[in-house]
Amino acid sequence: AITYWLMGSLSGTRMSDLWFCLPWMVLGFAPLLLLRWRLNLLAMPADDARAMGVNVPRLRSAALVCATLLTAVSVAMSGTIGWVGLVSPHMARRLVGSDGRRLIPSSMLIGALFLLAMDDLSRCLTATEIPIGILTALLGAPIFFLFLTWRGGASDA
């Protein structure tokens, strides 16, 4: 059991686990989705963002608290599944650009689809289920390396 939690698996997750974690996920997602247009301003120098009326330390803290809450809920449900959080935002940025209004929802969708594909693959490859973290590492690391070395795409527009 601990091995699957350390390497990540969805095999032990039940619907009751999802219902228990749902309020915490909403508590983390809602502020990020409501503030996603302001998160674009964090890419600017702090003085410029402040001049546009943004309380930079407060916005940074809110984003960090929300991201920490979402990470904690995800790890509590499925264990540590690496590379999804690195690959999906980079892939989304290549597809839709850096605007947070489109980047955050598309990152969520791509991450969910990537995780679903890895879960299906982990259940179908062998007679016993392979922990998802192993597959995401085997596929995510090369994909991430390609994103680091590849030039061009929507992010350069």
Task: Give tens-digit pLDDT for 98-131.
Answer: 998 899 999 999 999 999 999 999 999 988 888 8
Mean pLDDT across 53-58: 94
Per the structure, the complete domain to which residue 78 belongs is given by 2-156
To the nearest whole percent, how much of the chain has pLDDT over 90? 67
* Nearest to 32, CA basis, from 87, 104, 122: 104
Cα–Cα nearest to 155, from 105, 84, 99: 99
Question: 94 exposed, middle or buried (CB, 10 Å; 0-12, 13-18, 19+)?
Answer: middle
Overall average pLDDT of the 82-108 stretch: 92
Q: How far is CA 14 from the centre of its chain?
A: 21
Give which of 10, 29, 20 is closest to 129, Cα–Cα: 10
Q: Tell me the CA distances in angstroms from 84 to 91, 104, 118, 119, 126, one per residue in order.
A: 10, 14, 10, 12, 22
Question: How far apart are the C-alpha atoms of 13 and 10, rounded to whole Å?
Answer: 5
Q: What is the CATH number of the domain that holds 34?
A: 1.10.3470.10
Q: What's the chain's average pLDDT?
A: 90
155 with 148: CB under 8 angstroms?
Answer: no
Indicate the number of domains in the chain.
1
Instruction: Please state whether the predicted TM-score (pTM) of the whole model is above 0.95.
Output: no
Q: How far is CA 10 from the centre of its chain?
A: 16
Q: Say yes or no to pLDDT of 48 above 90.
A: yes
Residues 6+ apart with CB under 8 A from 102: 96
Answer yes or no: is pLDDT of 10 > 50.
Answer: yes
Distance CA 68, CA 62 (A): 10
